[in-house]
Structure 1
Amino acid sequence: MMVERRRALGLRQADVADLAGVSERFVRELESGKPSVRLDLLQRVLDVLGLELLVQVRSAGASRP
C-alpha cells in the first residue's frame, strides 16, 4: 500500500525520505517489508504519505504469531 500511495503522489523514495526526515534506505527497507522499525520513524513516513496506522483488538478466535 505504501508504494502505491507514494507513486500516486508522484514521489520518489528520496522525496519521501527528505520530507519525513529519514534516510532513503529506511524508506526502501520499509517498502520491502522490513520486519522491525522504529514506530516514530514509521509515523513520519505515514504522515508524508497521508496514511495512518490503525490498531485493533483481535477477535477471540485469532491465532497468535
Structure 2
Amino acid sequence: MKPKSLPLGNIDHEPIRIRSTEDLGAVLKVRRKKQKMTQSDLAALAGTGVRYIVDLENGKPTARIGPAFKLIEWLGLEVTIREKKID
C-alpha cells in the first residue's frame, strides 16, 4: 500500500485544491503530523472521538462535516470557496 500524498499544492505556501474526501483527509493528516499531534491529541482538542479522526484522515465519504470544520480550525487551516475558473 503506497503512502498517501498531498493533492497538488503546498499547504505552507499555496492553496490546495480539495476534490474528494481522500484529499481532505490527506491534508489534515499531514498538518496534524507536522504539528506533532497524535490523533488522540487532536480529538481531545476538537471535542471529537479518535475514530472520527481516523475515518476523516482515511477519506471516509460519510464523515460529518461539522466536526471537520472544528478540526480544520484547530489545525490552523481555513476553508475558502470560490468560483471555479474555466480554462
Whether TM exceeds 0.5 here: the answer is: yes
**Is 2:37 the partner of 1:2?**
no
Per the TM alignment, residue 32 of structure 1 is displaced from its structure 2 partner at its CA by 0.3
Whichever of the two has the greater Rg, that structure is 1
TM-score, normalization by structure 2: 0.62
Q: How many residues align?
A: 61
Q: RMSD in angstroms over aligned alpha carbons?
A: 1.4
1:13, 1:59 → 2: CA distance?
Answer: 35
Could you give the per-residue CA deviations for residues 2-56 of structure 1, whole angstroms, max 9, x where no partner exists? Answer: 1111011010000000000000000000000011332221111111111112222
- Are the equivalent residues in 1 in contact too, given 2:43–2:50 (CA < 8 A)? yes
Which amino acid is 1:46 matched to?
Answer: I
Q: Tell which has more relative contact order, 1 or 2 (C-alpha 8 A, sep 6+).
A: 1
Give the share of equivalent positions with the same residue, in percent: 31
Segments of 5+ residues of structure 2 without an aligned counterpart are 1-26
One of 78, 81, 85 as aligned partner of 1:52: 78
TM-score, normalization by structure 1: 0.80
**Is 2:82 the partner of 1:39?**
no
